[in-house]
Amino acid sequence: MENMVGKSPEPEPELPPDMLSSIFALLEVPDLVRAGSVCSSWRSVYTGLRRQLRQHKQRQTPCLLYHTSESTGENAACLYSLAEKRAYKLTLPDPPIRSRYLIGSSHGWLITSDERSELHLVNPITGEQIVLPSVITLEQVKPIFDDEGAIHKYELWEPRYTALAEFLGHEPSIYALDELRDRLYFKAYLFPDPQTGSYIVVLIHNPEYQISFARAGGCGWTFLPPGWNYQECIYKDGLLYAVTGTGAVDAFDLSGSTVTRTTVLGDMKNSISEHIYIVQAPWGDMLQVWRQQPIVAGDADSENIMETSKIFVYKIDMAAKKLVEINGLHGHVLFLGHSQTQCLSVEEYPQLKANCVYFTDDDRFISLYQNSKRDIGVLNLESGCREEIVPQIYCTWPNPIWITPSLRMMHSGLM
């Protein structure tokens, strides 16, 4: 990892390794990795700290990961640190980051789709990468083979409707290997799995924004009981909570041999106009966040764009089966986008701005508008004012995404 504004400085006279380790343990991950590249003795301390992860500072401030035309090579990405207000260069493993779609980020890992529409987990800090079960194990996807027995296209079963929105049934559509991901994927999440001590990956996908999940080491995706129009998920106390575009919340119990679904909150509105998120707040409440993004005219070089104008926050009252609007975040911040939604305390993350929402683009059809300016910024919930996080030097594709840097290897667990 390199500082984008210059080379690493020469080290000062050597400090004892135990003192260096104590100092390194307090650093944000981007600065820690950079410190480990200064010299061989610092590298040794950094390597030892990675082996003893509990000694390293647990709380890490989210960063913005993006590709830029100024990056060297297709595998180069940039990591903008909100804590340090500067960018670092990363080199990611193949396939090139420039060719991937970034459809999720959780616990320091990216969930990406390559040019064959296959999915990977990748840790941009450590370079560790894990191949997820093949796309052809999704219930709605079938492979099409060429004369030599190689997969060269995919078949996706999609719903068909009349002009009056009457359901006609499902019919297959044919997509090239690199085209399926445009139509299929919306968001993906990585969650710790208490049952196995490992992890599960949850995927919101088409047709109709349904959900499938895969466990660590599994060979396929499991389709959840019928539901549709899901916008986001969280995993809590063994239950997967999924919110729909109309504000309903379903809970899936993944612990048994058969997955069950329970509706814990009915529809809160009749139409889909806002983007809706669900998040567990540090003070215990489960929240819904509604984000309004009206369409505004783009400049001469880009299409029209959706621009965040207002954000509303609601407490989910499970007992009363209703939403209760809350005013302000009480010294907290939100992170919204294709990453897992986070609600963080500014007392624990003093570099962040209280009562603000940090957001990136996550439109459902974002892959169809790869050259558009991105809706990225910070919205103050009290004043309604928005500001840029960093001047838009980044490329618009792949779509910039929040990630909380982590040094943890997957075999060490996510938490």
Q: Is residue 26 assigned to a domain?
A: no
Which DSSP string do the residues of 186-233 spell out, in sequence order?
EEEEEEEETTTTEEEEEEEETTTTEEEEEETT-SS-EEPSS---EEEE
User: Average pLDDT, whole number, for the chain?
Assistant: 85
The region of weakest confidence among 111-120, 338-347, 363-372 is 363-372
Q: Is residue 43 assigned to a domain?
A: no
In the block, which residue shows the tokens 């840790």?
123
pTM of this structure: 0.87
Q: If you count DSSP H runs as helices and E runs as strands, how many of each does the chain have, helices first? A: 4, 31
pLDDT digits (tens, 9 = 90+) for 26-83: 667 766 666 666 677 766 766 666 666 555 556 789 999 998 766 567 888 888 999 8
Domain that holds residue 113: 59-412
Q: Is residue 10 assigned to a domain?
A: no
Q: Is residue 348 assigned to a domain?
A: yes
Q: Is the pLDDT of residue 415 over 50?
A: no
**Looking at residue 5, what is its pLDDT?**
45
Q: Is residue 51 assigned to a domain?
A: no
Which DSSP string do the residues of 255-288 spell out, in sequence order?
SSSS-EEEEEE--S-SS--SEEEEEE-TTS-EEE
Q: Is residue 71 assigned to a domain?
A: yes
pLDDT digits (tens, 9 = 90+) for 144-202: 999 999 999 999 988 887 777 777 778 899 999 999 999 999 999 999 887 778 899 99
Q: Is residue 41 assigned to a domain?
A: no
**Looking at residue 111, what is its pLDDT?**
98
CATH code, 81: 2.120.10
pLDDT digits (tens, 9 = 90+) for 255-307: 888 899 999 999 998 877 789 999 999 999 999 999 998 877 766 555 667 78
Q: What is the DSSP letter of 237?
A: T
Q: Is residue 97 assigned to a domain?
A: yes
Contact 410, 128 (CB under 8 A): yes
**Looking at residue 26, what is its pLDDT?**
64
Q: How many domains does the chain have?
A: 1
